[in-house]
Amino acid sequence: PRARLGRVLDEEIQQRLHAEHTRAAQLSERVATLESELRRLSDEVTTDQLTRVANRRGLLQAFEVARARAERDGEPLSIGLLDVDNFKRLNDELGHGVGDVALRSLAEAVARSLRPDDVVARYGGEEFVVLLPATAADEGQQILTRLQRSLSGGLFMHERKQVLVTFSAGVTIHRVGEAIEPALERADQALYEAKRTGKNRTCVA
């Protein structure tokens, strides 16, 4: 009887251990699922749904990282503000659906042309911001001018025709200790100058 009792206790212990192991595995799986969902939600909160680049919140997060690195390493940080030329006319002539395609295509073209540490974000409407770490303002101007030239053959096809999309841009250098807003105001002034003097060009503030 004692031996049988021992066997019964062993079986109970084995069953209990198995149940606990199963429960632990289920909890681990649940935690992994929740972490994955959290990452997805975090991405959604910081990503523009139309263009799939960073939105304003994502831009502010990326700026804080870029600013901290620039100040730590003593390197320049250039900030560019881009605005699609004649966007209202594009929407009026070809429709808002094509306007959306233009924004998506431009965001993809900018993202493709930038370096791994650079960041592009949709700032609102047809405006985009680029962060260019370890880059002086004149170098930032060259980077954006090259991108403008690369779009001269047309950005995407619509009804078997190439749609030409251009943008004007302003670039400024971030000043140590300042928030992003004053830098964007300077970039906006340079952008206005680019629009005023013919569009499809980049000016430096």
So which residues are the catalytic ones?
Answer: 126
Sign of CA dihedral 200, 104, 67, 70: negative
End-to-end CA, the chain: 93
Beta bridge partners of 131: 79, 119
DSSP label at residue 120: E
Task: List the one residue out of 163, 162, 165, 182 whose CA is nearest residue 174.
Answer: 182
| CB neighbour class for 156 (10 Å; exposed up to 12, middle 13-18, buried from 19) | middle
Helix (H/G/I), strand (E/B), else coil: 52 = coil
Residue type, 78: S
